[in-house]
Structure 1
């Protein structure tokens, strides 16, 4: 069943579908940037905007994008407060699902007058859940009613409605289509917003990385409208590195997503696992293994940059995420150096060359085994194998466009300590001030960072 659905659903995230969906993504990214530019256009006494909680704004952005691509109309959370309660409803819904994964026996007993896990564990959720289902149903019915008018839209839902299983030729039933749509809303918005919030948290606290990214984006794109899929965006390797390092430190799905071992058992790392047992890997833990990631709690985007001669070169990432050729095949698109010498971090080895073009040729060595051979990092925020996230190309596009356009338009700094750990609080894992705090609820719940913005100094008038 899963294989059939995946073969069909993956067609909704094909290269052609993602390309045709880009104008919709850009529209909402620009709404997101415009809201923050509006705040920056009303500076306070210190010349910065009022503080903005980016957990909220990134949630609004990602839910507007996925609702528009799924239902054909957005929730309009960025521009309208009416449906913003959906953010909390989705977070709590994910929390409930995660509880069912972790403690299925609690929910396998038929509820009665004296036993109801939902009433005990989620007393305030019943009304919000019902409201969410009503909104989702209304949006679904509106999309179906206008499907003929949307034939040329070529978004995710259009692809799902038309897609057939290449093996059997069957299509998803209407109930299956909308079941997948509800899943996309619940999973797609919250996870991507966590990655966006995390990268903004770490950039606002690491000036050197912030300066390098500013220079890469602002020297690559003459105007904000140039920031779109293409060779230029694919060439922004430091942008990609920042996104990946933020997802390493704050995985959008940080916990173990349990899988039951099938009949006959399984061999994992030489160990036999008995059939019927559940196994999983905690992303948060594995991404903090110092044997895999030296200085695991440090924000170091350069650890994701590859040597040109590495067997794990990032050359193919442009194809994977944006559908463009490897960078070795890309034409020169910029005469400006990405990282001028005055911004080059001294700890990178080899030194960053000051040359133009989309092939910076910089990296640090990957971790090495005792034998001296390079090995790939254990970094899989979208999981691997048959249950990996089919929406990875869309997520990378959305994150890349949002951060690139925001950095191009605005300067920002941390306004307060929201999102930081609290030294001396006495709670295990919550004492590291420099670590963005997330809560594992299937996806990641978060608060912050709270940032202040101002228009970039060399572009002091924007709409």
Structure 2
């Protein structure tokens, strides 16, 4: 027995050494530069994903190794606008198999994790009807009601000069909006604390998915399933709440509200009756963090940078206050769309702090015979390779965005030449691009525009602490005190900024 164990151990050791040697010298990606350990194991990225700073590490490695970095035995990451356009607009490319990490069940998919093109098109058509610009015109009154709740909270805080932590405040707003848009359900995140645990639930879910996507071996380990067996676990509470929301909505007339469930029912007709509730859960599990969490990053970043760049603050305040005659006029339409500096502030905030800072992994479609090489930035991508563009690094590529760590909304309005502007547009990945681009782009822009415009109409504001910024003395980006700091848990997570609001005396009575 001892001899067998010794022989097996020796054989396993030889196998591992041969495998590592192959990955370093003979592997199709052996010529590409990157961290040594990353070339040997996906565990390198997995560890940094666990630390939630993988976006910073990849940025540093791009600065060290160049525009293309090998970040796993079979992974390549790019940071150029040409790679972004080539990869995400190609019919030969599909989502990577690592998106299985986001599936609750092997046979159930949502618009985020579905890889089949036909199924994705069908789901996108449905979701697109809910979050399109046309849909937002119908839903806007509900969104405005929720933003009014936010404004009342700011007014209450201003009465005692209490600082407001923007991150949890706008996360609660976003989840309330998506509760109404998804299932016509009032979660009361802004007015009650009962459902505040949802923010932690989405955060933990995103974090687990990101770790498993970076280190796919962990996909087969499902700690959330084990924890879900425990009474009152976050997973169990989440599914109980989704069950309550769906049943409450199904008890009403389907066409009584403009929401996801109503659109699905209208599109499916009689087939809707046979739709399993679990399938609705699957879409809801993505709909909430995608619609409610990502806009919170853009709004939080905008408040952070505006409170630290007074010239930008004044330009935007002047634009808003000269474009409208009252707060009630601030709504979707030509007037709001004409606020070009507002749009530039939102785009610059999304550039500095993309809501999804990492890599949207892709691979060649099954059945691609490889007779024609797939080329990205002059590099042939071997079959079986996982590849993609790192959004944070792309958005801070100084060849596309000069002085990338400066908040300059003017860059979107005063590009030096047409080619420079085109490069910025092609390198702006906040909503991705191509057939898999974010369907919720109109909703995201509308929510951000309304929140910022209405807040600046009714209030002046200033920072009261350094919350949200870097810490002087820390290495790298973490030491940048005027850079809004985020953690990478697939979606960006953050804290701050801390803002003091002062009502404008000549218009604040409109909120009474």
SS of the residue 2:479 aligns to: coil
SS of the residue 2:375 aligns to: strand
Cα distance between partner residues in 1 of 2:282 and 2:127:
11
Indicate the structure (1 or 2) with the bigger Cα radius of gyration: 2
Of the candidates 120, 123, 138, which is equivalent to residue 244 of structure 2? 138
Relative to the length of structure 1, the TM-score reads 0.78
Q: Does 1:286 align with 2:394?
A: yes
Counterparts of 1:37-56 in structure 2 under 5 Å? 37-42=155-160, 49-56=161-168
User: In 2, are the aligned partners of 1:20 and 1:155 still within 8 Å (CA)?
Assistant: no
Of the candidates 300, 306, 309, which is equivalent to residue 206 of structure 1? 309
User: In 2, are the aligned partners of 1:107 and 1:117 still within 8 Å (CA)?
Assistant: no
Cα 1:374–1:259 shift into 2, 3 Å: closer
Q: Tell me the equivalent position of 2:93.
A: none
Q: Deviations over 1:216-255 (max 9, x none)?
A: 1111111111100111101111111000100000000000
Quote how far apart the aligned CAs of 1:271 are. 1.9
Of the candidates 460, 465, 477, which is equivalent to residue 411 of structure 1? 460
Quote how far apart the aligned CAs of 1:268 are. 1.6
SS of the residue 1:298 aligns to: coil
SS of the residue 1:417 aligns to: coil
Q: Deviations over 1:66-111 (max 9, x none)?
A: 01111111211111111111111111111111112111212225x7
Of the candidates 445, 452, 460, which is equivalent to residue 500 of structure 2? 452
Cα distance between partner residues in 1 of 2:387 and 2:224:
25
Quote how far apart the aligned CAs of 1:176 are. 3.2
SS of the residue 2:462 aligns to: strand
Cα 1:119–1:366 shift into 2, 3 Å: farther
Quote how far apart the aligned CAs of 1:258 are. 0.9
Q: Deviations over 1:161-219 (max 9, x none)?
A: 21259xxx987944434421221112211111011100000000000010111111111
Q: Deviations over 1:429-461 (max 9, x none)?
A: 201111000011110100000111110244354
Cα 1:459–1:15 shift into 2, 3 Å: closer
Counterparts of 1:46-125 in structure 2 under 5 Å? 49-108=161-220
Cα distance between partner residues in 1 of 2:377 and 2:135:
38
Cα distance between partner residues in 2 of 1:106 and 1:35:
42
Quote how far apart the aligned CAs of 1:368 are. 4.2
Quote how far apart the aligned CAs of 1:276 are. 2.0
Runs of 4+ in 1 over 4 A off after TM superposition: 116-120, 122-126, 169-172, 366-369
Quote how far apart the aligned CAs of 1:296 are. 0.4
Cα 1:117–1:74 shift into 2, 3 Å: closer
Of the candidates 129, 132, 152, which is equivalent to residue 34 of structure 1? 152
Q: Tell me the equivalent position of 1:345.
A: none
User: In 2, are the aligned partners of 1:91 and 1:441 still within 8 Å (CA)?
Assistant: yes
Q: Which runs of 5+ in 1 are unaligned?
A: 43-48, 306-362
How many aligned positions are there? 385
Cα 1:389–1:143 shift into 2, 3 Å: same
Q: Which runs of 5+ in 2 are unaligned?
A: 1-118
Question: C-alpha root-mean-square deviation of aligned residues, in Å?
Answer: 2.6
More helix by share: 2
Of the candidates 14, 22, 30, which is equivalent to residue 140 of structure 2? 22
Q: Tell me the equivalent position of 1:364.
A: 415
Cα 1:151–1:164 shift into 2, 3 Å: closer
